[in-house]
Amino acid sequence: MTKGLIKVHRKGYRAKRGRTEYYVKPTTYWRKDVGKPGKGPELIRVKPGRLKKYGYSTSKSWPERKKALLKADKAYGSTTLWRMLNAQVIFRKRTDGNRKIFEHDRDWVMENLMSRSERRRMVSKAVKERW
């Protein structure tokens, strides 16, 4: 057995192209193994503690979080800050935990700290209509 490859057995089947019908023979071939189900490349990288060092915590009240977000905005810039908060929203997609707090703070950053052109770059086409 070859490392990183899997053996695929393909059944024969009937196919139709236009009015002609033909039969595709069964085959066996080697294919690159794409990995375990549910495991894929790491698409979002989060460095822990980047917001915490400016005093940001979801357990704090809104005025305290707002003060921390303003400090982090000076350090990282509004676009990077928005992306950090958005990553947290994505990670908490299927949990109720602190997702709403991160969403609220992310939206506040967009409305109050980002310029109009930065906002357009950050959001999808459907959301752009609201702005």
What average pLDDT values come out for the chain (131 residues) when binned by 10 residues? 80 92 93 74 80 94 96 93 91 84 93 86 60 51
pLDDT at position 122, please?
74
pLDDT at position 38, please?
65
pTM, two decimal places: 0.63
pLDDT at position 82, please?
92
- Helix axes of 62-76 and 99-112: crossing angle, nearest 10 degrees: 60
Per residue, the 3-state secondary structure of the chain, as one string, reads: CCCCEEEEEECCEEEEECCEEEEECCEEEEEECCCCCCCCCCCCCCCCCCCHHHCCCCCCCHHHHHHHHHHHHHHHCHHHHHHHHHHHHHHCCCCCCCHHHHHHHHHHHHHHCCCHHHHHHHCCHHHHCCC
